[in-house]
Amino acid sequence: MKTQGQMNRIFATERPHDDRRDWRNLRGMLPYLWEFRGRAALAIGCLVLAKVANVGVPLILKDIVDAFQEPSAQMLILPVSLLLAYGALKLSASLFNELRDVVFARVRYRAMRRLSTRVLEHLHRLSLRYHLERQSGAVSRDLERGTRSVSTIFNYLVFSVLPVAVEFGLVAAIMIGRYDPSFVLVTFGTVVVYFAFTFAITEWRMDYRHRMNHLDSQANTQAFDSLINYETVKYFGNEQLELKRYDDTLAEWEEMAVASQTSMSVLNFGQGAIIAIGVTLIMTLAAQGVVDGSLSVGDLVLVNALMLQLFIPLGFLGIVYRQIKYALADMDLVFKLLERRPEIQDRTEAKPLVLSEGAIRFEQVDFHYQPERPILHGIDFAIEPGQKLAVVGHSGAGKSTLSRLLFRFYEVTGGRILIDGQDIRDVTQESLRAAIGIVPQDTVLFNESIYYNLAYGRPDAGRAEIERAAEMAHIRTFIESLPDGWNTVVGERGLKLSGGEKQRVAIARAILKRPRILIFDEATSSLDSHTEQAIQQTLAEVAENHTTLVIAHRLSTVVDADRILVLEQGRIREQGRHRELLEAGGHYAAMWELQLREGQMPVGSTDRQNSADIGP
């Protein structure tokens, strides 16, 4: 377990600056409130009316008590009218409180909806580098707490803080207008001491809350990761390792939670003591006034009722302040996320890609993920319209990086990439990606039906088009053989399907999208030899009249390419057609011989080789 000093160092790197930008974050909430400003104003109006009725109750109660102290001929009429007024005020307070809740509900929940949508939109705008480095479990928990914090703050401000402020103003006006300044002095003094004590102790307690948040997110990340990697955990029998890692983090969280609870008890006792002392002093002054005849018994009742109405919600306001501080801490995580700028952004003057032929050109492209680890060096090649270019090489050569750069998930660090003569940095990302279809090496599916995942390639496609794409990808028969057919849910990340089935879904999606440019990144790596032959024919049909980039490890899949680039350590070592490269006896020929010996060539690859050899 980490020491307290270690925890302090971890926490110091995790939490924002000390004031947590609370006022800035509160101002950031105003746009969500402004949409329903009319409703918000009406809710505040109902709040004020409810508090006026609430404060009027003890005033009527004083008159009732005084009426019994001074019997008269109208004794039976006056108290009845006052009692009716008392009941009417009680009813009005309840009515306006409920109206406030009903009117403000739309404001509160719409704010949650808007912020949640905005955060998800922003996450989609952030670049691939962020999503590769993020911790899904921690982000999920932070977003949950952050979006909920908006509702919490609106709820407390409108239902707790403002009501107490209005009620305090009304009580202060009554005290100043009716009683000796000593009453006002004791009342205000008690409130000032109460707030000073609450703020000081709460600020001290916030460190524990921040640490709890950090550890809670860390534990959630660990649990999330262990479940995502369920099979890996089982393969190595490391259930106890995962449980220990999770429990160690929760043990640290437990220590912070206990310290937080202990400090809260100190705070609650101190608040209760301050209120008890204040009420006792006020009641002593009122009782003395009754004894010396300057106040009536009704005044004693009024002062007691006013103090109860003021201090009971004031005691709750201490809890509200703490919860608002916690909510602001949670909200800060979301607003910091929203302030994160995407690494890849459209230029101000960016225009949609004008696609005519689909010619691709890499001009002396250099790239690195980190400056100390360059990936590509001076990559220079062109893919003519309708041409099929293959890139082969050993793992780590930089093959898949080419497709990421073409999609502009990253910016090149040198050179440029052109499509139909347009630098892809000068066009909008949306138009660029709309022009490219891909069958990725690692196909990840949504936890939805197969039909949904197929239709994802072009959501506006009709049922017949989707079924045709599935048929072309040789997966329709499989789908229709399932008990739930097209409505079969594939599981998280498509885990209910085999690797080959997922790849065929990816191929069908690419077919359905109908892009001008196609990328096949190890598109048949998970398929058996028989299915691969069928799919290769399909891919050839799909790629016809398309500009096609094929990234492959298994050379049998690229023998019919118009040109093959051999990539090694980020550099182009050889290029040419399959036959030319074999005759050259270089890197490509050595890879071909190695794969032949290892049996990686499926049945029929020789036929395709011979077919390719017929070409120019």
What would the mean pLDDT of 14-25 be, rounded to a whole number? 57
What share of the chain in percent tops pLDDT 70?
88
393: left (phi over 0), alpha (psi -120 to 50) or beta: left
Q: In what order do the strands lie in the sheet with 517-521?
A: 436-439, 517-521, 547-552, 388-392, 563-568, 571-576
The per-residue pLDDT for range 387-439, each reduced to its tens digit, is 999 999 888 888 889 999 999 999 999 999 999 999 999 999 999 998 998 88
The per-residue pLDDT for range 549-575, each reduced to its tens digit, is 999 888 888 888 999 999 988 899 999
The per-residue pLDDT for range 114-141, each reduced to its tens digit, is 888 888 888 888 878 877 777 666 677 6
Question: Partners of 423 in the beta sheet?
Answer: 418
554: left (phi over 0), alpha (psi -120 to 50) or beta: beta
> Encoding tokens for residue 273?
């003591």
Q: Is residue 379 pLDDT above 70, yes or no?
A: yes
Q: Which amino acid is at 262?
A: T
> Encoding tokens for residue 181?
């300044």
Between β-strands 517-521 and 436-439, what pairing exists: parallel, antiparallel or unpaired? parallel
**Closest to 156 measured CA to CA, from 375, 331, 345:** 331
**Lowest mean per-residue pLDDT among 19-28, 141-150, 444-453, 467-476:** 19-28
Task: Place 360 in a pLDDT band, splitting at 50, 70 and 90.
Answer: very high
- The pair phi, psi for residue 541, each rounded to 5°, is -65, -45
Write down the pLDDT at residue 69.
66
Write down the pLDDT at residue 408.
92
- The pair phi, psi for residue 238, each rounded to 5°, is -105, 30
Taken in order of first residue, the domains within the chain and their CATH numbers are 21-339 (1.20.1560.10), 360-614 (3.40.50.300)
Cα 452 from Cα 544, distance rounded (Å): 27
Cα 386 from Cα 544, distance rounded (Å): 7
**Lowest mean per-residue pLDDT among 282-291, 343-352, 464-473:** 282-291
Q: What is the pTM of this model?
A: 0.66
Instruction: Give residue 196's Cα distance to chain centre.
Output: 36
The rounded mean pLDDT for the chain is 81
Cα 408 from Cα 392, distance rounded (Å): 21
